[in-house]
């Protein structure tokens, strides 16, 4: 039977997110532009870490490209094992983050999804997400022979001190000087105000979309959020994001008005912690759905709005240092635990599913403590799943199947 | 009401028949390579032995890693829940369970009604499981059934520090070549399982009294090693190996939909 002959299931059709189509178009346009040969494209390309301050790049007409977003694509298209093995042949340890392994390997082969990322003209690395990115970007800077800018953001275990502010603000100035130097043109501070305001608006809208799941039944699950997240990560600071998220938010509101939930018979509302398991998204989403369990929110997709309270939409550049230093991954375990407990209350969740991710050490290291804190303070049942976001060799389906079944039986 | 529980594990497959909350019979066979066949076979054999036919059995619950391959079952329930129900039935005082099976080990906390409050399982690794013991028995050329008694005669416990089965095996081999007594090595193997499993138990905070279930509970050496780490005694039922199957049969009493065939 071909695709067009398949009978349409009206129930499924009703639950489909209509905006998905537009999102795919936008992402395709974005990658098509980035992959256009340098001479025709005119614009420069910067590879940047997912938590890095992208707004100055947009302001300078530089196309930001995200190896981590690409890592997610590699994972989702199940190319992770091949590329990870390739990097291991090159001498990288299996303990290294699989985004780094997959990206380093894919740079050396003409392969991977969309035939590989466009070559960078510069690299921007901010260590507010982890320490891995430092060495990863140094490796790539040597490989592509391009300049690398490192923004060092000290960990805010509890607070953001005066000294931290001075230290990061000074680097933001150096960042701008670096961009002026590479592009050979002065930084446009007026445009920066516009880009900053758009970035802030994009974050507001994204949070509003995530918050629609406070409604019962939730119009989307975190598996949908994992998909729609690509926009706030890659195109933050552009009008495109704002327009798209306005459309998506309107659709969510319509769903709520029509009483459409993503899980037909929503029974258990749960939280997800850590990165998605990209190559098992469908399996996991079906698995939880089969138990009428809805993952209403997660710490990952909300990570891109986690420091909004420190950003000033009217003085974005001035607040950049604090906003980018105080993101959720750059904080102490207690802050992370508070974040999860706050979310459990906000979204009225009855349990937490932790993905203990072999790749992402800063995200996974404190999880057992966080699990204990959440259990002690809120009495919430929790589940720990050991896996990896890209490297499928670290996923044991039958074990995880049993754990999820047992967890649901326990609720 | 007569019900049955089938527990398809990676090494052995178990069956239990329960009538009005009383266990009538249990049966254990080797799983072999075909989990689906093993479920069917143990069910046929227990019927033949008891003279109870499948038409009299009103509901069947399957559990264990092969639970979804038991096509004649009315429902599949995880071994976590089944061990909890089974252990509670065998001894209502029990508040925690350590279950060491063929391919995984678990620690389970239950409440006064036998409901699961929390659980932890070993990660994707054979250390601390029945499979680990099998590998070691082969390396030592000792019958696995003799392991427990032999370790009681050890004059010291050899140190086995590797958590990985493969590395632990080479540690064992080097101990053999150094002329270490087998008994001592076996005691070391048991201590290493004890440490591994207790680390998991401590993570969720075991509460006394603790029952040990699963096939490995028949190994007195492992029981002793765990008791040492736990600093108190373990409750080991004669039905340790079939606790999951009993729990499954008891859960089947609550399954609607009746006849299994
Ligand atoms: S270690 Fe974690 S934060 Fe760092 S690149 Fe990998 S996934 Fe991202």
pLDDT in tens, A88-125: 999 999 999 999 999 999 999 877 899 899 999 999 99
Query: Residue B129: is its pLDDT beyond 90?
Result: no
Give B49's pLDDT tier (boundaries 50, 70, 90).
very high
Which residues, given as ranges, of chain A have pLDDT below 70? 1-6
Query: Residue B186: is its pLDDT beyond 60?
Result: yes
User: Which domain, by its residues, includes B173?
Assistant: 93-236
A44 CA → ligand 1 middle, Å:
25
Please tell me the distance from the alpha carbon of residue A360 to that of residue A389, in angstroms, as a whole number: 9
Q: What is the pLDDT of residues A42-61, one digit of tens each?
A: 999 999 999 999 999 999 99
Query: Residue B260: is its pLDDT beyond 90?
Result: no
Q: What is the mean pLDDT of residues B86-103?
A: 94
Block residue for tokens 């501070």:
A189
Looking at the structure, tell me whether residues B189 and B159 fall in a common domain: yes
Block residue for tokens 């303070």:
A377
Q: Which of A368, A382, A399 sits opposite B121 (nearest CB)?
A: A399
* CATH number, position B172: 3.30.420.40
Query: Residue B48: is its pLDDT beyond 90?
Result: yes
Query: Residue B63: is its pLDDT beyond 80?
Result: yes
Domains in chain B: how many in total?
Answer: 2
Looking at the structure, tell me whether residues B80 and B101 fall in a common domain: no
Looking at the structure, tell me whether residues B147 and B227 fall in a common domain: yes
Cis before A330 (ω within 30): no
Give B124's pLDDT tier (boundaries 50, 70, 90).
low
Query: Residue B257: is its pLDDT beyond 70?
Result: no
How many Cβ pairs closer than 8 A exist between chain A and B? 41
Give B135's pLDDT tier (boundaries 50, 70, 90).
confident
Domains of chain A (ranges; CATH) run 24-410 (3.40.50.11900)
Alpha helices by DSSP H, listed for A152-278, are 162-183, 189-211, 222-234, 239-258
pLDDT recorded at residue A1? 47
Residue pair A327/A303 in contact (Cβ under 8 Å)? The answer is yes
Cis before A349 (ω within 30): no
Looking at the structure, tell me whether residues B97 and B74 fall in a common domain: no
Of the candidates B62, B78, B79, B58, the residue with the CA atom closest to the CA atom of residue B70? B62
Looking at the structure, tell me whether residues B136 and B123 fall in a common domain: yes
Numbered residues of chain A with Cβ closer than 8 Å to any chain B Cβ = 368, 375, 381-382, 384, 386, 394, 396, 398-399, 402-403, 405-406, 409-410
Consecutive H or E run containing B230:
helix B220-230
Looking at the structure, tell me whether residues B84 and B124 fall in a common domain: no
Please tell me the distance from the alpha carbon of residue B5 to that of residue B3, in angstroms, as a whole number: 7
Q: Is the CB of A359 under 6 A from ligand 1?
A: yes
Q: Which of A36-50, B90-104, B152-166 has the lowest mean pLDDT?
A: B152-166
> How much is the mean pLDDT over chain B?
91
Looking at the structure, tell me whether residues B209 and B98 fall in a common domain: yes
Looking at the structure, tell me whether residues B143 and B188 fall in a common domain: yes
pLDDT recorded at residue A385? 94
Looking at the structure, tell me whether residues B150 and B106 fall in a common domain: yes
pLDDT recorded at residue B103? 81
Give B169's pLDDT tier (boundaries 50, 70, 90).
confident
Looking at the structure, tell me whether residues B66 and B80 fall in a common domain: yes
Looking at the structure, tell me whether residues B153 and B102 fall in a common domain: yes
Looking at the structure, tell me whether residues B109 and B77 fall in a common domain: no
Cβ neighbour number for residue A225 with a 10 Å cutoff? 22
Question: pLDDT above 90 covers what percent of chain B?
Answer: 65
Query: Residue B259: is its pLDDT beyond 50?
Result: no
pLDDT recorded at residue B261? 40
Task: Report the residue among A360, A362, A390 best suited for mutation to probe ligand 1: largest number of ligand atoms under 8 A from its CB.
Answer: A360
Q: Which residues pair with B121 in a beta bridge?
A: B106
Q: What chain A residue is nearest to B114 in terms of C-alpha separation?
A: A410
Residue pair B78/B106 in contact (Cβ under 8 Å)? The answer is no
- Size of chain A, expressed as the number of residues it contains: 411
Q: Is the CB of A146 under 6 A from ligand 1?
A: no
- Widest distance between CA atoms in chain A: 66
Instruction: Please give the structure tokens belonging to residue A104.
Output: 């380093």
DSSP code per residue over chain B: -EEEEEEE-SSEEEEEEEETTEEEEEEEEE--S-HHHHHHHHHHHHHHHHT--TTT--EEEEESTTGGG-TT-SEE--HHHHHHHHHHHH-TT--EEEEE-SS-EEEEEE-TTS-EEEEEE--SS-TTSHHHHHHHHHHHT--GGGHHHHHHT-SSPPP----SHHHHHHHHHHHHHTT--HHHHHHHHHHHHHHHHHHHHHHH---SSEEEESGGGG-HHHHHHHHHHHTSPEEE-TTGGGHHHHHHHHHHTT-TT----
């Amino acid at each position: 039977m071909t695709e067009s002959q398949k009978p349409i299931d009206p129930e499924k059709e009703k639950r489909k997110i209509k905006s998905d189509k537009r999102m795919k178009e936008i992402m395709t346009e974005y990658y098509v532009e980035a992959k256009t040969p340098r001479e025709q494209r005119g614009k420069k390309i910067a590879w940047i870490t997912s938590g890095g301050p992208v707004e100055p790049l947009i302001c300078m007409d530089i196309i930001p490209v995200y190896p981590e977003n690409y890592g997610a694509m590699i994972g989702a298209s199940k190319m992770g094992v091949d590329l990870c093995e390739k990097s291991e042949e090159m001498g990288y340890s299996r303990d290294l983050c699989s985004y780094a392994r997959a990206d380093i390997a894919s740079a050396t082969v003409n392969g991977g999804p969309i035939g590989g990322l466009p070559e960078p003209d510069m690299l921007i690395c901010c260590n507010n997400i982890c320490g891995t990115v430092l060495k990863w970007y140094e490796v790539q800077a040597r490989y592509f022979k391009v300049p690398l800018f490192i923004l060092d953001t000290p960990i805010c275990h509890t607070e953001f001190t005066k000294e931290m502010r001075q230290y990061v603000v000074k680097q933001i100035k150096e960042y701008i000087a670096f961009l002026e130097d590479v592009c050979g043109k002065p930084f446009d501070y007026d445009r920066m105000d516009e880009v900053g305001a758009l970035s802030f608006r994009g974050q507001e809208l994204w949070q509003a979309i995530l918050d629609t799941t406070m409604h019962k039944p939730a119009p989307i699950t975190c598996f949908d959020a994992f998909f729609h997240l690509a926009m706030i990560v890659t195109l933050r600071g552009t009008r495109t994001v704002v327009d798209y998220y306005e459309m998506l938010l309107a659709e969510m509101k319509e769903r709520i008005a029509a009483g459409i939930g993503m899980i037909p018979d929503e029974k258990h509302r749960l939280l997800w912690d850590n990165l998605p398991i990209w190559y098992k998204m469908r399996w996991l989403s079906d698995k939880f759905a089969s138990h009428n369990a809805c993952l209403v929110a997660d710490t990952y997709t909300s990570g891109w709005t986690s420091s909004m309270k420190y950003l000033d939409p009217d003085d974005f550049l001035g607040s950049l240092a604090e906003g980018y230093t105080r993101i959720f991954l750059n904080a102490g375990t207690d802050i992370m635990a508070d974040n999860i407990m706050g979310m459990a209350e906000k979204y009225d969740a009855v349990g937490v599913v932790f993905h203990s991710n072999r790749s992402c050490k800063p995200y996974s290291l404190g999880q057992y403590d966080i699990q204990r804190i959440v259990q002690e303070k809120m009495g919430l049942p929790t589940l720990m799943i050991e896996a990896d976001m890209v490297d499928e060799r670290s996923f044991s389906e039958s074990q995880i199947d049993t754990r999820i079944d047992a967890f649901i039986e326990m609720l | 009401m007569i019900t049955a529980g089938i527990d398809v594990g990676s090494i052995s497959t178990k069956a239990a028949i329960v009538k009005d909350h009383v266990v009538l019979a249990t049966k254990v066979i080797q799983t072999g390579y075909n989990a689906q066949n093993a479920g069917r076979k143990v069910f046929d054999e227990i019927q033949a032995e008891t003279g109870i036919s499948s038409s009299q059995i009103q509901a069947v619950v399957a559990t264990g890693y092969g639970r979804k391959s038991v096509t004649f079952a009315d429902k599949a329930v995880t071994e976590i829940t089944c061990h909890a129900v089974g252990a509670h039935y065998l001894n209502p005082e029990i508040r925690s369970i350590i279950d060491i099976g063929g391919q995984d080990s678990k620690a389970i906390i239950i409440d006064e009604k036998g409901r699961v409050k929390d659980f932890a399982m070993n990660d994707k690794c054979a250390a601390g499981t029945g499979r680990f013991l099998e590998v070691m028995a082969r390396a030592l050329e000792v019958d696995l059934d003799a392991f427990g008694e032999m370790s009681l005669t050890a004059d010291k416990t050899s140190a086995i520090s590797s958590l990985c089965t493969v590395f632990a095996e080479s540690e064992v081999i080097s101990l053999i070549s150094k002329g270490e007594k087998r008994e001592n090595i076996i005691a070391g193997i048991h201590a290493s399982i004890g440490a591994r499993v207790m680390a998991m138990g401590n993570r969720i905070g075991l509460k006394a009294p603790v029952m040990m279930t699963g096939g490995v509970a028949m190994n007195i050496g492992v029981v002793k090693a765990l008791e040492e780490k736990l600093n108190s005694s373990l409750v080991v039922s004669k039905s340790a190996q079939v606790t999951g199957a009993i729990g499954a049969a008891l859960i089947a009493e609550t399954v609607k939909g009746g006849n299994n065939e």
